[in-house]
Amino acid sequence: MGGLPNFIDIRHSVSVQSPSGVELAGLASLLVAVPAVALLGNSGRKHTGPARRAHLLLAAGGALSSAAALAGLVSALMLPASSEAHREPLGNALAIALAVGTIILLAGTLALPGAAEGPGTALRHLVDGLVIALLNIDEVIEVIRGSDDAAAAKDRLMSVFDLSAVQAQYILDTPLRRLTRYDRLELERERETLQAEIAELTAILESEDMLREVVSGELASVAKRFADPRRTVLLESTGAARTAAVPLEVADDPCLVLLSSTGLVARTATTAPDAERENPGGPDSSAPGPRAAHDAIIAAVPTTARGSIAAVTSLGRMIRLGVLEIPALPPSAHSPSLSGGAPITEFAMLASGETVVGLAAADGAGAGLALGTAAGVVKRVAPDYPGSSSEFDVIALKDSDRVVGAVQLTSENQDLVFITSDGQLLRFGAGTVRPQGRAAGGMAGIRLSRRASVIWFGAVTAAGADRTAAGDARFPGGDPAVGPVVATVAGTTGALPGTGAATVKVTPYREYPAKGRATGGVRCHRFLKGEDALVLAWAGPAPVRGATDAGVPVDLPPTDPRRDGSGVRVRQPLAALGGLAPPA
């Protein structure tokens, strides 16, 4: 082999130590930094301004890191293990050099235009470059026309106008149609908008209070949009241990039996829980709250848990029902939904075509039961109900007549209200109707025109707040502070509820003057083209609630002070109207 040393002999004769962690890190840096040095150095010569400085920093940091990594590898391979005294200071020097190179690389990275920018800042950077081009459009065109190719044009734009590579390329890619005067104004507005958005977002990120406020508002919006309404009320625990003993009999506590527009019946407690008695002013169970399925209430009657109520049917029958058999709803922070109720047909046997039109007290409490028929007959039933019968008639109906409404009066000061298919409304005091026995046929309530019929009958407490009746979009279906309202739905004769296009109008109740019994009333709805009759109506405390035949909520318009105005078209099929549960 002549005078050449044998590498294998040297490797076996010299004890070599394994590479340290610093040297291994240097190897990794070497693999990345060596090809980057040539690229960045070449790129640095092509840039000007801040971009050139950033690329030169990257090249210098890469070169220093590469040198430190190469020296570390050489020391690991060539120095013997016995040279520990030389290896330690050399390793420390290499570690320092590698750290300095890494810092220079990081500084160069941060110095790159747009390196620390978000999407909004990067877009503003492009817009700024385009605005510069528009302000110097003649010079830009001359530079581009005098260049040999796109790369030369890009370099000249960067050197002449001190643009970044991204800005220069964006200008070259911009079509000529964007160089008009209109686009210049649009770009300036866009730049101002971006600057305002960036300033706003920066202020939010720099302020913990503002950030919490934004996050809280967005979470509240999501909760309001997607959350289901709570059916129960969260009560504060007293800390007392609860016993597992179950009472043998149900307490005869006061409760309220409710009937929904879809025929579901349920009961809810009217007494406040212990925690609410200790802390009055808690949630009001009669507050509107968010909408839910089966929350349009058409009848309500107070009773007790072990008492009984009566269902009044369209054929003039009264059917007694045991309250204890009716499903009980949990306490609610708002007017309850009857989704947990049961169909009233499970408790009352009805004939074909017979429907339940209202609920009443089985003992005739209060001011008695008031009935209204489709032919305009009104009757107050004297409380002489037979104690041994579970079913009995409360009115003698004429042929083809039927009961359209039944309500348990709380006072003779209430108004009895008729609403007819031809858009007439009549209100008069309940005290003007003399109570009659069960076998009587009632008396004239409203004078009907030819082919007209009563579509709704009920009782309304006329007292209300003295405030403007102007419509407020914040209160669909009416503002509760306005007092009672009247809701009317116009459509086409013969169309089933919920199947045809309909217009809805909600008007404050006090806009309709009171008149005497057996008169013709006043107009409450003006028909539009294609409408010839009222198909639905309701009167009572605001807000009024609309629902489909399946109980799905339907949004109604706000109040309209015009008592004889036309309605507003609703998009969903509206099949029923109702109100809230009475206050507990």
Q: Which domain holds residue 55?
A: 10-111
Whether residues 289 and 369 fall in one domain: yes
**Which tokens sit at 128?**
């700024």
DSSP string, 447-508: PPPTT--EEEEEEE------S-----TTSTT--GGG-EEEEEEEE-TTPPTTTS--EEEEEE
327, 472: one domain: yes
What confidence tier does 326 reach under pLDDT thresholds 50, 70, 90?
A: very high
Q: Which two tokens stand for residue 164?
A: 């970044």
Q: Which helix (H) or strand (E) holds 380?
A: strand 377-381
Asked if 368 contacts 435 with a C-beta cutoff of 8 angstroms, the reply is yes
Calculate what percentage of the chain has a pLDDT beyond 90. 33
Instruction: Tell whether the model's pLDDT for residue 92 goes beyond 70.
Output: no
Element of type H or E holding 259 = strand 254-260
Are 188 and 263 contained in the same domain?
no
pTM: 0.59
pLDDT given at position 82: 47
Q: Which of 111, 136, 153 is the last residue of a domain?
A: 111
One domain, residues 24 and 84? yes
Q: Is residue 215 in a domain?
A: no
Measure the CA–CA gap between 114 and 120, rounded to whole angstroms: 11
- For residue 359, pLDDT beyond 90: yes
At residue 154, the pLDDT reads: 86
Tally of CA atoms within 13 A in the half-sphere of 49 that contains its CB:
13
pLDDT at 109 exceeding the cut of 60 = yes
What would the mean pLDDT of 226-250 be, rounded to a whole number?
61
Look at residue 188 and tell me whether its pLDDT is greater than 60.
yes
**Beta-ladder partners of 318:** 312, 392
What contacts 467, CB < 8 A, 6 or more positions away? 481, 482
Contact 416, 369 (CB under 8 A): no
CATH of the domain at 168: 1.10.268.10
Boundary residue ending a domain (83, 111, 139):
111
d(CA 47, CA 159): 8
Q: What is the 3-state secondary structure (H, E, C) of 49-64?
A: CHHHHHHHHHHHHHHH
Q: What is the pLDDT of residues 475-495, one digit of tens each?
A: 455 556 678 999 999 988 876
* Residue 216 counted as domain residue: no
Q: Do 53 and 129 belong to one domain?
A: no
Is residue 462 within 8 A of residue 541, CB to CB? The reply is: no
Q: Which long-range contacts (CB under 8 A, 24 or more apart) does 387-390 make?
A: 390/319, 390/320
Residues 52 and 59: beta-carbon distance below 8 Å:
no
* Rounded CA separation 537/455 (Å): 7
- One domain, residues 417 and 537: yes
For 420, 458, 522, the CA distances from 424, given in Å and listed in that order, are 5, 14, 5
Cα–Cα distance measured from residue 310 to residue 369, given in angstroms and rounded to the nearest whole number: 11
Determine phi and psi for 315, rounding to 5 degrees.
-90, 10
How far apart, in whole angstroms, are the C-alpha atoms of residue 391 and residue 317? 7
- pLDDT in the model for residue 377: 96
Q: Are residues 370 and 509 in the same domain?
A: yes
Domain boundary among 92, 111, 130: 111
Mean pLDDT of 532-555: 92
User: 319-327: which pairs have CB atoms within 8 A and are 24 or more residues apart?
Assistant: 319/348, 319/349, 319/390, 319/391, 320/362, 320/390, 320/391, 321/347, 321/348, 322/347, 323/255, 323/257, 323/267, 324/250, 326/257, 326/265, 326/266, 326/267, 327/265, 327/266, 327/267
**DSSP one-letter code for 152:** H
> Are 280 and 401 part of one and the same domain?
yes
How far is it, in rounded angstroms, from Cα 105 to Cα 59?
Answer: 8
Residues 6+ positions from 224 with CB-CB distance below 8 Å = 290
**Residue 148: inside a domain:** yes
Q: With respect to residue 381, please indicate whether it lies within any of the assigned structural domains.
A: yes
| 179 falls within a domain | yes
Give Cα 263 to chain centroid, integer Å: 28
Residue 469 banded pLDDT, cuts 50, 70, 90: very low
pLDDT digits (tens, 9 = 90+) for 242-256: 555 555 677 888 999
Strands 533-541 and 545-547: unpaired
219 found inside a domain: no
Q: Is 328 exposed, middle or buried (0-12, 13-18, 19+ CB in 10 A)?
A: middle
Q: Which is nearest to 406 in space by CA: 355, 452, 363, 440?
A: 355
pLDDT tens readout for residues 195-222: 888 888 888 888 888 888 888 888 888 8
- Write the CATH number for 279: 2.120.10.90
- 235 within domain boundaries: no
Instruction: Quote the number of domains for the chain.
Output: 3
Helix axes 208-226, 181-206, angle to 10 degrees: 100
**What pLDDT, on the 0 to 100 scale, is given for residue 337?**
86
* 499 and 560 belong to one structural domain: yes
Give me the mean pLDDT over the 108-124 stretch. Answer: 59
Q: Hunting for tokens 């008069």 — which residue is that?
A: 428
CA 56 to chain centre: 54
Q: pLDDT tens-digit profile of 395-423? A: 999 989 999 999 999 888 999 999 999 99
For 423-466, write each residue's pLDDT tens digit: 999 999 999 999 999 999 999 999 999 889 999 999 998 765 34
Provide the token pair at 294: 């089966």
242 is a domain residue = no
354 and 382 in a common domain: yes
pLDDT tens for 282-292 read: 444 455 677 88
Q: Which of 40-49, 292-301, 451-460 has the lowest mean pLDDT?
A: 40-49
More confident residue, 63 or 351: 351
Task: Please report the pLDDT score of residue 498 as a whole number.
Answer: 55
CA–CA dist 206, 143 (Å, integer): 43
State the DSSP H helix or E strand holding residue 311, giving kind and residue range, or none if neither. strand 308-313
What tokens appear for 28 in the block?
């990794």
Predicted pLDDT at 2 = 45
- 211: enclosing H helix or E strand: helix 208-226
- For the segment 338-364, the average pLDDT, to the nearest whole number, is 90
pLDDT band at 273 (very low <50, low <70, confident <90, very high): very low
Nearest Cα to Cα of residue 298 among 487, 515, 61, 504: 487
Q: Over 60: is that where the pLDDT of 473 sits?
A: no
Least confident of 98-102, 383-387, 458-462, 472-476: 472-476
- pLDDT of the residue at 115: 46
Q: Based on the domain organization, do 15 and 48 belong to the same domain?
A: yes
Helices (H) and strands (E) in the chain, counts: 11, 25
| pLDDT value, residue 367 | 79
Nearest-CA neighbor of 298 among 552, 538, 536?
Answer: 538
Closest of 432, 308, 401, 294 to residue 359, by C-alpha: 308
β-strand partners of 427? 417
User: Are 283 and 414 found together in one domain?
Assistant: yes
3-state secondary structure of 267: strand
Q: What average pLDDT does the structure give for the chain? A: 78
